[in-house]
Amino acid sequence: MSHALAALRKDALLQWRTRGRFVAVFVFGATALLLFSFAIGPNAGALRQHAAGFLWLALLLASTLALGDSVHGEMEHRALEGLVLLPASPVGLYYGKALANWAQLAVLGIALVPFMVVLYDAPLGRALALAGLILLGTAGLSAPGTLYAAMTVQVRGNQTLLPLLLFPLVVPVLLAAVNATSLIMTGDPMDQLRSWTLLLLCFDLIYASLCGLLFGRVVES
């Protein structure tokens, strides 16, 4: 637990000190949101209908940059190897890093919401519920993303490999998050929000425990 907190503190501090990178990732996400609208055309109704999907796609694309970047620093001067030799618990390292990535992606998601509202004229719905859902959805991206980023950052072609491994895996996150976001924004007459949120929560719990369990093997190999 103390190792996880120390790793979280270290990663949060690193993210704060390199906040320029976060701004770049945010601009990338906002650019993606802008570009998606060109695929639909100026039809206001269609744009509003696809707003939730575009928000999560922009977040997913931007997350690959943020996740890769979060582990890249550990590779310089073999810092990760040094941490493992300290010895710091790999499980603690994973949870610290995954939590820091989660916080970063959640802030990114919440920061992209006003752009979505402005660009697509989307109704905001219940803002607090939307923020809660972004927290759940970004946890689902961060849990497997941190594990895969730790693997792919160490090989050539990592910019291709991370999305290649992560995107098929997070299909349930994307489906649940998009549907739940739509329901929050446009209303939920059939009471489906609970099911999608539950699915997202199950995915988060399964992947947070499974990836925590396997992370040690990845960094120790």
Partner 1 sequence: MATAALDGRPTSETNTPYLIAGAGVALLLVGSYWGLARAPRETYMGDVQRIMYVHVPTAWNAMLAFTFAFGCAVASLLRGGYRWDTRLEAAMEVGVVLSSLLCIQGAIWAKPTWGVWWDWDPRLTTTAVLVLAFSGIIALRSFVDDPARRAVWSAVAAIVAYVDVPIVYFSVKWWNSLHQMQSSPETVSGAFHWPLRINAFGILFLMWGLIALRARIAALRLERQLAPPEAAR
Residue that has been written with the tokens 């992560």 in this structure: 166
Spatial CB neighbours of 90, under 8 Å, sequence gap ≥ 6: 84, 215, 216, 219, 220
With CA atoms as reference, report the closest residue to 212 among 104, 89, 71, 60: 89
Q: How far apart are CA 135 and CA 109, in angstroms?
A: 8
Does residue 132 interact with partner 1 by CB under 8 A?
A: no
CB 173 within 8 Å of CB 202: no
Q: Is 79 in the site for partner 1 (CB under 8 A)?
A: no
Q: How many CA atoms lie within 13 A of 92 on its CB side?
A: 15
Q: Which residue from 58, 147, 153, 193 is in contact with partner 1, where contact means CB under 8 A?
A: 147
Among the listed residues 79, 86, 118, 164, the single contact to partner 1 using CB under 8 A: 164
Report whether 149 contacts 71 (CB < 8 A): yes
Binding segment for partner 1 among 24-32, 45-53, 63-71, 205-213 (CB under 8 A)?
205-213
Which member of 138, 146, 179, 197 binds partner 1 (CB under 8 A)?
Answer: 179
Q: Of 1, 128, 171, 190, which one interacts with partner 1 (CB under 8 A)?
A: 171
Give 199's Cβ-side CA count (13 Å radius): 16
Q: How far is CA 143 from the centre of its chain?
A: 8
Q: In the bound complex, what is the minimum distance in angstroms from residue 139's beta carbon to partner 1? A: 14
Region from 17-25, 118-126, 158-166, 182-190 binding partner 1, contact rule CB under 8 A:
158-166
Nearer to partner 1, 108 or 136 (CB): 136
Determine the interface stretch with partner 1 among 37-45, 63-71, 94-102, 203-211 (rule: CB under 8 A): 203-211
Measuring CA to CA, how many Å separate 103 from each of 83, 120, 133, 142, 151? 22, 26, 13, 9, 21
Question: What is the rounded CA–CA span in Å between residue 202 and residue 106?
Answer: 18
CB 161 → partner 1: shortest distance, Å? 6
The residue among 108 and 166 lying less far from partner 1, judged by its C-beta, is 166
Question: Least distance from C-beta 79 to partner 1, angstroms?
Answer: 18
- Residue 205 sits in the site that holds partner 1 (CB under 8 A): no
Give me the residues that bind partner 1 (CB under 8 A), please: 144, 147-148, 151-152, 154-157, 160-161, 164-165, 167-169, 171-172, 175-176, 179, 195-196, 199, 202-203, 206-207, 210-211, 214, 217-218, 221
